[in-house]
Amino acid sequence: MNDRIIFEDVSKFYGEILGVNRVNLSIPPGITGLVGPNGSGKTTLMNLMTGLVKPSRGRIQVLGIATDDPENLFKLVGYSTQFDAFPKGLTGFQFIYSYLCLTGMLQPDAERTAWQAIERVNLVDAASRKIAAYSKGMRQRVRLAQALAHNPKVLVLDEPLNGLDPLARSEMIAVFRASAAAGCYVIISSHILHEVDVISDQVILLSNGYVVAEGQIQSVRNEIQEHPTQILIRCDRPRDLAARLFQSEYMIEASIHKDERGVLLKTRDADRFYLAINQLALDGIQIESIAPADDDVLSVYEYLIGNEEVVR
Amino acid sequence: MNRLWWTQIKAVIRLEWKKTFFAKRGLWIYVVAAMPVALFIVYAVVTANQQHQSANIARQSQRAITRQEMLSIKPGMTREEVIAILGKPPGDFQWTETRPTGPKTTEPILREDFHYSDGLDNLYLGLENGKVQNINMQGMNNFGEDAILFAGVFQFFFLRLAIFFGCLGVFMNLFRGEVLDKSLHFYFLAPIRREVLMAGKFLAGLLATCTIFVTSEILQTVAFVGHFNPHVRDLYLYQYHGLEHAAIYVGVTILACIGYGAFFLVAGMLFRNPIIPAAAVLIWEGINPFLPAILKQFSVIYYLKSLCPVEIPVSPGTPGLFALLVSNADPISPPLAIGGILVVALIALFVSSVQVRRMEINYTTE
B171-202 pLDDT, tens per residue?
988 998 888 889 999 999 999 999 999 999 99
Residue in B33, B56, B44, B58 with CA at minimum distance from that of residue B167: B33
Contact A124, A118 (CB under 8 A): yes
Residue in A268, A218, A261 with CA at minimum distance from that of residue A245: A268
Task: Give the C-alpha separation, A282 to A164, whole Å.
Answer: 49
Which residues 83-142 of A are in CB contact (within 8 Å) with B? 83, 85-89, 98-99, 101-104, 106
Contact A173, A145 (CB under 8 A): no
Average pLDDT, chain A: 87
Contact B263, B348 (CB under 8 A): yes
**Which of residues B109, B139, B169 is at a domain's end?**
B139
A219/chain B closest Cα distance in angstroms: 34
Which residues 160-189 of B are in CB contact (within 8 Å) with A? 181-183, 185-189
Confidence grade of residue B292 (pLDDT, cut at 50, 70, 90): confident
Q: Hey, is A91 helix, strand or coil?
A: strand
Q: How far is CA B103 from the centre of its chain?
A: 53
- Is B193 in CB contact (< 8 Å) with chain A? yes
User: pLDDT at residue B316 above 70?
Assistant: no
Q: What's the average model confidence in pLDDT over B238-255?
A: 91
Q: What percent of chain B has pLDDT over 70?
A: 93
Task: Give the C-alpha separation, A180 to A173, whole Å.
Answer: 10
**Which of residues B76, B111, B139 is at a domain's end?**
B139
B79 is in which domain, residue-wise? Answer: 60-139
Q: How far is CA A111 from the centre of its chain?
A: 31
Confidence grade of residue B13 (pLDDT, cut at 50, 70, 90): very high
B21 and B113 together in one domain: no
Alpha-carbon Rg for chain A, nearest whole angstrom, is 23
Task: Evaluate whether residue B177 is within a structural domain.
Answer: yes
Range with lowest mean pLDDT among A41-45, A233-237, B152-156, B327-331: B327-331
**Which of residues A222, A242, A264 is at a domain's end?**
A222
SS (H, E, C) A134-149: CCHHHHHHHHHHHHHC
Task: Give the C-alpha separation, B73 to B40, whole Å.
Answer: 33
Residues near B144 by beta carbon (within 8 Å), at least 6 away in sequence = none
Task: Give the C-alpha separation, A118 to A126, whole Å.
Answer: 9
| Contact across the interface for B190 and A74, Cβ inside 8 Å | yes
Confidence grade of residue B230 (pLDDT, cut at 50, 70, 90): confident
Residue in A218, A213, A155 with CA at minimum distance from that of residue A188: A155
Which pLDDT score, from 0 to 100, does residue B350 have?
95
B16 and B131 together in one domain: no
A83 and A132 together in one domain: yes
A199 and A235 together in one domain: no
Q: What's the average model confidence in pLDDT over A221-240?
A: 79
Highest mean pLDDT among A286-295, B76-85, B131-140: B76-85
CATH of the domain at A254: 3.30.70.920
A13 and A155 together in one domain: yes
What count of residues does chain B have?
Answer: 366
Mutate which: A14, A102, A111, vs B, most B CBs within 10 A = A102
Measured from the Cβ of residue B60, the count of other Cβ atoms closer than 10 Å reads: 13
A216 and A236 together in one domain: no
B37 and B83 together in one domain: no
How many structural domains are present in chain A?
2
Q: What's the average model confidence in pLDDT over B107-116?
A: 89
Which pLDDT score, from 0 to 100, does residue B314 have?
66
Highest mean pLDDT among A66-80, A247-261, B237-251: A66-80
Residue in B98, B68, B99 with CA at minimum distance from that of residue B85: B68
| Contact across the interface for B183 and A47, Cβ inside 8 Å | no
Residue B189 is nearest to which of A53, A79, A89, comparing CB atoms?
A: A79
Residue A37 CA: distances (Å) to CA of A308, A309, B59, B118, B289: 7, 6, 92, 90, 60
B21 and B73 together in one domain: no
Per DSSP, the residues of B230-279 read: HHHHHIIIIISSHHHHHHHHHHHHHHHHHHHHHHHHHHHHH-S-THHHHH
Task: Give the C-alpha separation, B265 to B214, whole Å.
Answer: 20
A33 is in which domain, residue-wise? Answer: 5-222
Which pLDDT score, from 0 to 100, does residue B319 have?
57
Which pLDDT score, from 0 to 100, does residue A312 have?
47
Q: CA quadruple B177, B183, B185, B190: dihedral positive or negative?
A: negative
Task: Give the C-alpha separation, A172 to A152, whole Å.
Answer: 16
Task: Give the C-alpha separation, B184 to B188, whole Å.
Answer: 7
B127 and B270 together in one domain: no
Q: What's the average model confidence in pLDDT over B24-40?
A: 91
Task: Give the C-alpha separation, B161 to B35, whole Å.
Answer: 11
**Which of residues B89, B104, B139 is at a domain's end?**
B139
Contact A154, A78 (CB under 8 A): yes
Confidence grade of residue A158 (pLDDT, cut at 50, 70, 90): very high
Q: Where are the alpha helices (DSSP H) in B271-319?
A: 275-286, 293-296, 300-307
Phi and psi torsions of B52, nearest 5°: -60, -45
A297/chain B closest Cα distance in angstroms: 30
Per DSSP, the residues of A7-73 read: EEEEEEEETTEEEEEEEEEEE-SEEEEEE--TTSSHHHHHHHHTTSS--SEEEEEETTEETT-HHHH
Which pLDDT score, from 0 to 100, does residue B329 have?
55
| Contact across the interface for B192 and A81, Cβ inside 8 Å | no
Q: CA quadruple B324, B327, B332, B336: dihedral positive or negative?
A: positive
- Is B362 in CB contact (< 8 Å) with chain A? yes
DSSP for residue B320: H
User: pLDDT at residue A268 above 70?
Assistant: yes
B29 and B159 together in one domain: yes
Task: Give the C-alpha separation, B197 to B356, whole Å.
Answer: 9
Please, which residues bridge with residue B131 across strands? B78, B128
User: pLDDT at residue A295 above 50?
Assistant: yes
Contacts 24+ apart (CB under 8 A), B311-318: B311/B151, B312/B148, B312/B151, B312/B152, B312/B155, B313/B148
B234 and B115 together in one domain: no
A139 and A282 together in one domain: no
How many structural domains are present in chain B?
2
Residues near B339 by beta carbon (within 8 Å), at least 6 away in sequence = none
What are the pLDDT digits (tens) for B349-361?
999 999 999 999 8
B175/chain A closest Cα distance in angstroms: 12
Task: Evaluate whether residue B12 is within a structural domain.
Answer: yes
What are the pLDDT digits (tens) for B329-348?
567 888 998 998 999 899 99
Task: Evaluate whether residue A65 is within a structural domain.
Answer: yes
B213 and B303 together in one domain: yes
Q: Where is pLDDT greater, at A80 or A308?
A: A80
Q: Where are the alpha helices (DSSP H) in chain A?
A: 42-49, 70-76, 92-102, 107-120, 136-148, 166-181, 193-199, 217-223, 238-245, 270-282, 297-304
CATH of the domain at A159: 3.40.50.300
Task: Evaluate whether residue B235 is within a structural domain.
Answer: yes
B148 and B179 together in one domain: yes
B96 and B158 together in one domain: no
B161 and B86 together in one domain: no
Residues near B347 by beta carbon (within 8 Å), at least 6 away in sequence = none
Confidence grade of residue A49 (pLDDT, cut at 50, 70, 90): very high
In chain A, residues with a C-beta closer than 8 Å to the C-beta of B362 are 14, 53
User: pLDDT at residue A122 above 70?
Assistant: yes
A113 and A202 together in one domain: yes
In chain A, residues with a C-beta closer than 8 Å to the C-beta of B183 are 83, 85-88
**Half-sphere exposure of residue A242, counting CA atoms within 13 Å on the CB side?**
20
Q: Where are the alpha helices (DSSP H) in B1-142?
A: 3-22, 27-60, 67-71, 79-86
B340 and B271 together in one domain: yes
Q: What's the average model confidence in pLDDT over B75-79?
A: 91
In chain B, residues with a C-beta closer than 8 Å to the C-beta of A85 are 181-183
Please, which residues bridge with residue B114 across strands? B92, B125
What are the pLDDT digits (tens) for B265-275?
998 888 888 78
Q: Where is pLDDT greater, at B313 or B222?
A: B222
Any idea what the Cα angle at residue B30 is, between residues B27 and B36, rounded to 5°? 145
Task: Evaluate whether residue A66 is within a structural domain.
Answer: yes
A147 and A257 together in one domain: no
Task: Give the C-alpha separation, B18 to A72, whole Å.
Answer: 28
Highest mean pLDDT among A292-296, A306-310, B139-143: A292-296
Nearest chain B alpha carbon to A149: B190
Task: Evaluate whether residue B317 is within a structural domain.
Answer: yes
